[in-house]
Structure 1
Amino acid sequence: MTGTRPPARRGAGRPTREQAEARDKELLDTALDLFLEHGYELATIEMIAARVAMTKRTIYARYPEKAALFLAAVRSAIERQAVPREVLDDLDRGDLAETLKAVARLRIGQVATPDGLRLQRIVSTESYRFPEIFVAHYERSTALVVDFVTGLFDRAAAAGRIVPTDSEQAARAFMSMAVGGQVRAIVAGRPPTPEKIDERVDFTVDLLMNGLRPR
């Protein structure tokens, strides 16, 4: 016997970093579901703890108050819905009208997913109480697309394919006309059919391009 002690082992039941992150994601997703289902006022930490099979003490150790848990849940959902710039860049095939249609369909398609719809509804119902979630959602979602579309218009105007215009205003008009109406219908529970979405997107982009075409 040398008296050498065996190396210390990880404590029984202690989660790995990956397990802890997965558990936190489960907590945030569950919390968001319950905040949407019951509203911020009526959803409680007790209710969330029971649904996710976690003690209140554990939740409070991570998020010291309900507002902190709510904001973390919404911000996590916002980050998952953010469109990476490289995804937008891949939509640009050199044809402005076709690129605009692809961007519109991407944004509408995002909202139509369960996660996208849940996020839109929670922002719509609770942004009066937490205006920062509206700002965060805009900055990590709409603003990125507006910036991308603004660049499309700038390059098209520089190449003489459209008349010089206020590219940022044109990008905002595009988002409002081609995307906004479809999103509002989806959030209200009256989603257009895929065929109707294509028809409306095509019409709106063609209308916009007709207004910008050099005369």
Structure 2
Amino acid sequence: MGEAGVPVRRGAGRPTREQAAARHEELLETALDLFLENGFDVTTVEMIASRVNMTKRTIYARYPEKSALFLAAVHRAVDGQIVPPEVLEQLDTGDLKQTLEAVARLRIDQVMTPNGLRLQRIINTEGYRFPEIFVANYERSAGPVIDFVAGVLDRAIDAGTIAPIDTDQAARAFMSMVVGGQVRSIVAGRPPSAAQLEERVEFTVRLLLDGLRPR
């Protein structure tokens, strides 16, 4: 209280750590939207600053170049697609067919999320300019899932369920067929129906397992 009991008005002060983090997330979210809407060349830091009600100086203090902001926004989207190891482990029921189908459904569902769609579209449109975003998406998002599938296939070989094979190549081929085959339609805005997706997942898993059956 001030003189005569009059309350002292406090200024807004510095934002809390949580508020600052939320504003940074908003910046990256908005930046990715604008890069996707307008392309990297047309999108400017001024446009992004205006959309999030920040000053250019604030943004440049953290990202000296537009490309740095772009990459940070894409890496954030990649992080949103990472499947935690414990989630993958929960998909392994001990039944090879069920496990492979569950992995396929998980990855397709991820592509169909708003974040998954934006990530795929920005990779498609700007990947030629920033090839490192392909690498980041594979190493941190797709790669661990492929490694998990390869591990599941390794255990199936040990159990005699499937014939010996290069499980890394088999896992890559499987994910390409079952997920990559759907991504193009989904990203183009023509997603298969739930029934079609289920049919395609089951068909691809059956095709893989028929090819890997011990002879």
For normalisation by structure 1, the TM-score amounts to 0.94
| Cross-structure match for 2:122 | 122
Letter of the structure 2 residue corresponding to residue 54 of structure 1: M
Aligned to 1:102: 102
The answer for the alignment partner of 1:191 in structure 2 is 191
* Shift in Å, 1:69: 0.5
Residue equivalent to 1:180: 180
1:156 is aligned to 2:156? yes
Output aligned runs, 1:22-61, within 5 Å.
22-61=22-61
Alignment pair present for 1:77 and 2:84: no
Give the Cα separation in 2 of the matches to 1:11 and 1:92: 55
**CA–CA distance in 2 between the matches of 1:12 and 1:195?**
54
CA distance in 2, matches of 1:13, 1:183: 47
Letter in 2 for 1:18: E
**CA apart distance, 1:188:** 1.5
Superimposed CA distance per residue, residues 7-39 of structure 1 (whole angstroms, 9 cap, x where no aligned partner): xxx974200111100000000000000000000
1:29-54, Cα deviation, whole Å (9 max, x unpaired): 00000000000000001110111111
Deviation string for 1:157-202 (max 9, x for gaps)? 0110111111011101110111111111101111101110000000
The two structures have a TM-score, normalised by structure 2, of 0.94
Task: Structure 1: give runs of 5+ residues left out of the alignment.
Answer: 1-9
Q: CA RMSD in A?
A: 1.1
Per the alignment, residue 65 of structure 1 pairs with 65
Instruction: State the distance in 2 between where 1:129 and 1:51 align.
Output: 25
C-alpha separation between the residues in 2 aligned to 1:73 and 1:119? 10
Equivalenced residue count is: 206
| Residue identity opposite 2:75 in structure 1 | R
> Which aligned runs of 4 or more in structure 1 are off by greater than 2 angstroms?
10-13
Which SS does the other structure have where 1:72 is aligned?
Answer: helix
Match of 2:133 in 1: 133
Q: Which residue identity lines up with residue 103 of structure 1 in the other structure?
A: V
- Give the counterpart letter for 2:158 in structure 1: A
Using the TM superposition, give the Cα deviation of residue 211 of structure 1 relative to its aligned residue in structure 2, in angstroms. Answer: 1.0
| Gapped regions of structure 2 (runs ≥ 5) | 1-9
Percent of aligned positions that are identical? 71
Corresponding residue for residue 212 of structure 2:
212
- The amino acid across from 2:29 in the alignment is D
